[in-house]
Amino acid sequence: MSAAPRTSRELAETVLEVMRTRRVVRRFTDEPVSEADVRAVLEAGRWATTGGNRHVHRFLVVRDPAVIRLVKLMSPGMLNAPTALIVVCLDLEQSEQQQVPVERHDSVWIDVGTAAMNMMVVAHALGLGSCPVTSYSRSGVSTLLDLPETVVPQLFVLLGHPARHRRQLRTGASTRLSVDDLTYWEHYGQRTTA
Amino acid sequence: MAGQELTVSEEQAFELLAHLVASAELCITEPYYYGTFRLIDAASKLAGFLLAGPGDGSREWLEHFKTEVDAKKEWMMWDREGYFDFLRAASGDVAGELKRRVGRPPLGTADGAGTSR
């Protein structure tokens, strides 16, 4: 990365550049992720927005390859094994203490996404690959990881050093929505700012 | 038909069992086309087990099939129509290999040359 940005515009461009160049990575080398890098990723998750500053989620880091392999067996969405796995968990005891009824508070699920996104952006800035996964057996993973009954695994962030891989796509198959595709101004359906 | 016995290790069998059971659970909530992805992914795992065995009656075909599945299954996320076309073609490819294994020529020609679909 270039020299530290000096203005807010430069800072924004630096952050945007990290966001623009991040891609989901599903293939990893065997090289372990350093603890310092895992901690930096966790720090990013900790600083994510959380509804009412309640922090009803907890992160479980798994680095034992044997345990990761077991988790992968019950996780059809985990196409390849990472070298580190962060399980974003909902702690029902925390949510009860914070008086957050999980069935009525969308912020509980939104907070999972904000934490995961922060983590993946910082992972990319560190040169790591990452991938969010929600396609796993909740009961299977809870059993494998000996999670307490009051802890629900909500999302995995797979971490690792990216393996070289060239995605094969048909010509013209890739579509990427632009800001204008996604945005209306003032009224839903209005494409122009005027 | 070539009938070479296949030995699947307990570890391999449990890998497939876990994948199928977890996939069945996920099918409760995920879009239907994810279910197709889980099945073709299971087929790739099974092809891998076959390739790890001693049989050589379909080795070349299996290697090609598994490579193609692993490359194109992910189209489900970016190119769904292409992915569906691939699934349709994959069934034809398997059927063609089944015919070849029992000594029947592929459709389309009397001497076996030509397309397998």
ipTM of the complex, rounded to two decimals = 0.78
Do the chains contact at B41 and A76, CB–CB below 8 Å? Answer: yes
One digit per residue, the tens of pLDDT, for chain A of length 194 reads 557 778 999 999 999 999 999 999 999 999 999 999 999 999 999 999 998 888 999 999 999 999 999 999 999 999 999 999 999 999 999 999 988 888 888 889 999 999 999 999 999 999 999 999 999 999 999 999 999 999 999 999 999 999 987 777 777 776 788 999 999 999 999 999 87
Per-domain residue ranges of chain A: 14-164
As assigned by CATH, the class of the A14-164 domain is: alpha beta
Q: B22 and A75: CB-CB below 8 Å? A: yes
Query: Could you tell me if B63 and B69 are in contact, meaning their C-beta atoms sit under 8 angstroms apart?
Result: no
pLDDT above 60 (res B114): no
Q: Identify the burial level of B22 via C-beta atoms within 10 angstroms of its C-beta, where 0-12 means exposed, 13-18 middle and 19 or more buried.
A: buried
The partner residues of A62 in beta bridges, in order of sequence, read A85
Average pLDDT over residues B14-21: 97
CB contact under 8 A, B79 and A139: no
Query: Cβ distance B108 to B114 under 8 Å?
Result: yes
Q: Choosing among B11, B16, B17, B26, which should be mutated to test the A contact, i.e. which has the most A CBs within 10 A?
A: B26
Of B15, B71, B74, the CB nearest to A73: B15
* Closest residue to A73, CB basis, from B18, B25, B26: B18
Contacts of B26 in chain A (CB under 8 A): 76-77, 135-137
pLDDT at B105 over 70: no
Q: How many residues does chain B have?
A: 117
User: Is the CB of A74 less than 8 angstroms away from the CB of B18?
Assistant: yes
Tell me the residue ranges of DSSP E strands in A95-184.
129-133, 151-160
Cβ-Cβ contacts under 8 Å, B79 against chain A: 169-170, 173-174
Give the Cα separation of A14 and A125 in Å (integer): 10
Helices assigned H by DSSP within A98-151: 107-125, 138-144
Domain ranges of chain B: 31-101
Are the beta carbons of B22 and A168 separated by less than 8 Å?
A: no
Contact between B6 and B53 under an 8 Å Cβ cutoff? The reply is: yes
